[in-house]
Amino acid sequence: MMTVATIGYEGTTVPAFQEALREGGVDLLVDVRAVASSRRPGFAKTRLAANVEELGIEYLHLRGLGTPAEGRSAARAGRHEEMREIFMEHLATPAAQDELHRLADIVRSGRRVCLLCFEADPAHCHRSMVAAALADLMPIEIRHLAAQLDPD
């Protein structure tokens, strides 16, 4: 059975994030943010891709598996159930289903995939819903990685 990991970068540093990916044996980081920008240094798309490439990890952005704007607003406000409903409606769209099936093909190819989003707690992040939807398509084990938090 294939394993698919997930990780959030909230509250961590680039070195701690890199170490979690290395320890997790990841070879492909799949960014499932709708908007791959970040105010946190090192986690916007271009810099993030370069940071993981240093470890020999490939980067792929599947924006179609990201949460729509209204879902991100609900999540920021702590309305996690509302975010889930919005995301599940989005995930049922043909565009999101195409990306989900693309992800399934990548996992079937034997890549050691890790899904990336912001939230540290996978229970409050749509990446867990992406992983669960993937598990509905194929037998996988889901493993949530956690990078050490920045003490500052």
Class of domain 2-144: alpha beta
Whole-structure pTM value: 0.95
Section 19-48 average pLDDT: 96
The yes-or-no verdict on residue 149 having pLDDT over 90 is: no
| pLDDT, average across residues 42-69 | 97
Asked whether the beta carbons of 93 and 57 are under 8 A apart, the reply is no
> Which ranges of 24-150 would DSSP assign to H, the alpha helix?
45-53, 69-76, 80-91, 94-108, 126-137
Q: Is the predicted pLDDT of residue 36 greater than 90, yes or no?
A: yes
Report the candidate in 24, 36, 107, 105 with the shortest Cα–Cα distance to residue 65: 36
Q: Per-residue pLDDT for 152 more than 90?
A: no
Whether the Cβ atoms of residue 7 and residue 145 lie closer than 8 Å to each other = yes
Contacts of 112 (CB under 8 A, 6+ apart): 3, 5, 24, 25, 26, 27, 28
- Residues 62-102 pLDDT 10s: 999 999 999 999 998 999 999 999 999 999 999 999 999 99
Sign of CA dihedral 143, 99, 10, 48: positive
Give pLDDT, residue 1: 86
Angle between helices 80-91 and 94-108 (to 10 degrees): 80
**Burial, 71: exposed, middle or buried (Cβ in 10 Å; 0-12, 13-18, 19+)?**
buried
Q: Is the pLDDT of residue 61 over 80?
A: yes
The tens digit of pLDDT for each residue in 102-123 reads 999 999 999 999 999 999 999 9
